Structure 1
Amino acid sequence: MRVKSTTIGRRLACALGASALIVTGAGFAAPTALGEEPTAESSQTAELGNIDFTKKGSLTIKKHLHQDGTSAVGDPATGVYEGKPAEGIDGVEFTIYKIKDIDLSKNEDWEKVNSYKIPADPEADSNLVKVKTVTTEGGGVATLKDLDLAAYVVVETNAPADIIDRAAPFVVTLPYPDTKANDDRLGKRSEDWLYDVNVFPKNGKTELSKTVKGQASYGLNIGSEVHFPVTATVPKIAGDRVFKYFQVVDPMDTRFDKKSLKVASVKLSGVDLTSDDYTVAIQDWMVTVSLTQQGLGKLKNAAGQELEVVFVGQLDNLGEGDNFGRILNMAYVYSDTVSNPGESTPPETPGTTPPTTPPSTPPTTTTPPGGTPLVKQFWGDLKIQKVDQGTQKPLKDAEFKIYPAKDPYPAGECSPEYDENATAVKKNGVEGEDLVVKSDENGNVHFEGLFVSDDQNDPKSKEFRCYVLVETKAPSGFVTPTDGNQLFPVKVTIGQTAQGKYDSKVENVKRDTPELPLTGGKGVIMLMVLGGLLLVVAVGAGVVFIRRAEA
Structure 2
Amino acid sequence: MSLTRTHHSPAATRRRAHSDRPGELGRRAATGPARPLTPEPTPCRTGGPGRFERESQKPMQTNRHPAGRRLAAAVGVVALSLSGLIGGAGVASADPSYGNIDQNATGSIIIHKHLNGDGTEANPDGSGNVSGAAVSDVTFAAYPITSLDLSKSSDWDTLSGLNVPDSACANPTAPTLAGQELGGEAGSATTGGNGQATISGLSVRAYLVCETAAPANIVQKAKPFVVTIPYPYNGSWLYDVNVYPKNTEVSIEKTVEDQAQYGYGLGSVVSFPVTTMVPALEDTSNFQYFQIKDQMDARFSDLAVTQVTLGSETLTADTDYTVDITGNTVTVKFTSAGLTKLKSAAGQQVRAVFQGKVTSVGDGAIKNTAQLITDTAYGSVPDTPPDNPDPENPPSTPEVQTNWGDLKVQKVDADSTSTGLAGAIFEVYNATDPYAADCSGATKTGDPIRVGGQTQFTSGANGLVNITGLYVSDSVHSPANATQRCYVLVEVEAPAGFVKQSGDIGVTVKTGTTSGYDVTVENGKQAVPGLPLTGAQGKVLMMIIGAVLILTAATTVAVRSRRATATA
What is the TM-score of this pair, normalised by structure 2? 0.73
After TM superposition, give the deviation of residue 100 of structure 1 in Å.
Answer: 4.9
Residue 126 of structure 2 is matched in structure 1 by: 78
CA distance in 2, matches of 1:240, 1:213: 38
CA–CA distance in 1 between the matches of 2:211 and 2:444?
60
Please tell me whether residue 492 in structure 1 is matched to residue 492 in structure 2: no
**1:153: how far off?**
3.1
Distance 1:403 1:281, change over 3 A: same
Q: 1:198-248 CA distances to partner (integer Å, 9 max, x unpaired)? A: 111112233532210011211212222111111222333345544444332
Gaps of 5+ in 2: 1-21, 29-37, 43-59, 67-96, 177-181
Please, which of 328, 339, 351 is the counterpart of residue 285 of structure 1?
Answer: 328
**Aligned pairs for 1:360-371 within 5 A:** 370-371=395-396
Q: How does 1:21-420 map to 2 (within 5 A)?
A: 21=64, 49-66=99-116, 72=120, 74-81=122-129, 84-105=130-151, 109-110=155-156, 114=162, 118-124=168-174, 127-178=182-233, 189=234, 191-239=235-283, 241-257=285-301, 260-275=302-317, 276-319=319-362, 324-339=363-378, 346-356=381-391, 370-391=395-416, 392-419=418-445
Give, as a single letter, the amino acid of the residue that structure 2 aligns with 1:264: T
1:19-48: CA deviations, max 9, x gaps? Answer: 78369xxxxxxxxxxxxxxxxxxxxxxx86
RMSD of the alignment, in Å? Answer: 3.6
Distance in 2 (CA, whole Å) between partners of 1:91 and 1:3 is 31
User: What amino acid is aligned across from residue 305 of structure 1 in structure 2?
Assistant: Q
Q: 2: CA distance between counterparts of 1:105 and 1:399?
A: 97
Secondary structure, counterpart of 1:490 in structure 2? strand
Distance in 2 (CA, whole Å) between partners of 1:352 and 1:245 is 8
Q: Structure 1 CA distance, aligned partners of 2:532 and 2:237? A: 123
Does the residue aligned with 2:555 lie in a helix, a strand or coil?
A: helix
In structure 1, distance between residues paired with 2:188 and 2:420: 71
Contact 1:452 1:492 in 2 (8 A): yes
Aligned length: 477
Q: CA contact under 8 A between 1:247 and 1:352: conserved in structure 2?
A: no
What is the CA distance between 1:293 and its match in structure 2?
A: 3.7
SS at match of 2:557: helix
TM-score, normalised to structure 1, is 0.75
1:134–1:396 Cα change, 3 Å: farther
Cα displacement string for residues 412-464 of structure 1 (whole angstroms, at most 9, x for unaligned residues): 32445222xx2222245xxxx53443434443322221111112123322221
1:414-433 equivalence runs, <5 A: 414-419=440-445, 422-427=446-451, 433=453
Amino acid at match of 2:487: Y
Is the Cα–Cα contact under 8 Å of residues 472 and 509 in structure 2 kept in the other structure? Answer: yes
Contact 1:79–1:198 at 8 Å: present in 2 too? no
| 2: CA distance, partners of 1:59 / 1:393 | 85
TM-superposed deviation, 1:403: 2.0
Matching residue within 489, 496, 500 for 1:481: 500
- How many Å separate the matches in 1 of 2:390 and 2:259? 33
Deviation by residue 1:48-71 (Cα, 9 ceiling, x = unmatched): 62222443322221112227xx66
Structure 1 gaps of 5+ residues are: 24-46, 179-188, 359-368
Q: For 2:475 and 2:299, locate their aligned partners in 1 and report how far apart those are by CA, in whole Å.
A: 19
Q: Does the 8 Å contact 2:141/2:210 carry over to 1?
A: yes
Residue number in structure 1 paired with 2:553: 538
The answer to whether the 8 Å contact 1:166/1:336 transfers is: no
Q: Structure 1's 506 and 265: CA in aligned 2 closer, same or farther, altered over 3 A?
A: same
Q: Judging changes above 3 Å, is the alpha-carbon distance between structure 1 residues 535 and 355 closer, same or farther for their aligned structure 2 residues?
A: closer
Q: Is the 8 A contact 1:19 1:50 kept in 2?
A: no
Indicate how the Cα distance of structure 1 residues 403 and 48 shifts in structure 2: closer, same or farther if over 3 A, else same: closer
In structure 2, the CA distance between the partners of 1:423 and 1:335, relative to structure 1 (3 Å rule), is same
In structure 2, distance between residues paired with 1:348 and 1:407 = 55
Q: SS of 1:5's equivalent?
A: helix
Three-state SS of the structure 1 residue aligned to 2:554 is helix
Identity among equivalent pairs (%): 39
Provide closer, same or farther for how the CA distance between residues 110 and 440 of structure 1 changes in structure 2, counting only shifts above 3 A: farther
CA contact (8 A) 1:161 1:371 kept: no
- Closer, same or farther in 2 for the Cα pair 1:240/1:389, shift >3 Å? same
State the partner residue of 1:38.
none
